[in-house]
Structure formats: C-alpha cells, structure tokens
Amino acid sequence: MQNPILKQIPMWMTWSRVILIPVFIICYYAPIEDARFWAGLAFMIASITDWFDGYLARKFGTDSKLGAFLDPVADKLIVSAALIVVAAEYHENLWVIISAILIMMREISISALREWMAENNAREVVAVSKLGKVKTALQLAALTWLIYGGELWGVDWGSLGFPALYIAAVLTVVTWVQYAKAALPVILESTQN
C-alpha cells in the first residue's frame, strides 16, 4: 500500500504554484538586495512543479477531476501574473507588450475551448501537443529570465529572455491556430444540431 502522504504530493505541488504567486511578486518589488533573483527563483520553482505534478499524479495513481481542473488554472494564474509583471517592467518595449497580450489571449481562449470540447466529449481533439509543450517550456524560461533580468555565471539572462519570449509568442499563435483548426469540425457539427 502506498504512503498516503506521497499520494498528496501532486496536489500540494499544484497548490504551491498558486501560493508562489504572491511570493514572487513580493520578492520582485521588495526593497532588498537580489530581490529579482529571489523572484525569478520563486517563479522557476513554480514552473518546475508544473512539469512534475501531473507526472507524479499518474505515477501514484492519484490523478483526479479536481487535480485535472486545478492544474491548468494554477498554470494560467502564475503565467498571467508573470506576464503582467514583465509587461509592466518592460513597458517601453512594444514587442514585450504584444507578446504578453498574445500569450494571455491564447491561454484564456484555449482554456475555454478545452472546457467546451470536454462538455462535447471531444477534449482529446485539443489535447496538449508536443509543440504546445515546447511553447510552454520556452515561455516559462523566458519569463524566469526576464523576471530575474540580471547576470549570473557570466550569462546575461535578461537579454536571453527577450528573444525567448518572442519565439514563445510566435509558437503561441501557431499552436492557437492548430488547436482552433482541430476543434473546428466539432464546433461546426455542434452548430448544426
């Protein structure tokens, strides 16, 4: 029999992403030395939990409807908070603003589309694609680097964050179109019934 505490780890990881939102924002704006480093670290930890909670839930056999619902909600909340912080920080850079807007629009619309598709027993049509996973990884890396914005180990992470965010925005549009095209037949069929 599995340890009941181990079975709870995936749900704790999901909740930790929500809890880390105020942590990274407070760190970001705190009048302390290395505030942005700590903010970037908090966001990076939250990003890492995104990759492990689903895997562990399946491994421990504890995946649940609540977990399946909360996981994408937690993802959207922390990414949205990070995009707002980054857009505010780099508000003079039009490409950062456009990228942030595109990513947020896509996240909200695809979440709504997935919910609608699930109600029509067709959620698998808009399941996360490999390109969608690449987009997410690049987006989370870009946001971590832009939140930190400094140099570490001789690397200017802030400078790396800009092109990574722009590429993530392009992948955002590409995957947005892919998911919409995949869902279109189901949408058209539902309008004829």
pLDDT (0 to 100) of residue 193: 62
pLDDT tens by residue, the chain, 193 residues: 466 676 778 778 888 888 999 999 999 999 988 999 999 999 999 988 877 777 777 777 766 667 667 777 888 899 999 999 999 999 999 999 999 999 999 999 888 888 888 887 877 777 777 888 899 999 999 999 999 988 888 888 888 999 999 999 999 999 989 888 888 888 787 777 6
The DSSP secondary-structure symbol of 64 reads -
CATH number of 4-192: 1.20.120.1760
Beta strands in the chain (DSSP E): 151-152, 155-156
121 in helix, strand or coil? coil
CB atoms within 10 A of CB 165: 26
Residue 67 confidence (pLDDT): 67
DSSP 34: T
Q: Domain residue spans in the chain? A: 4-192
**Dihedral sign computed on CA atoms, order 181, 187, 75, 11:** negative
User: What does the pLDDT look like over 43-98, one tens digit per residue?
Assistant: 999 988 877 777 777 777 766 667 667 777 888 899 999 999 999 999 999 999 99
Q: What is the pLDDT of residue 29?
A: 94
Report pTM.
0.85
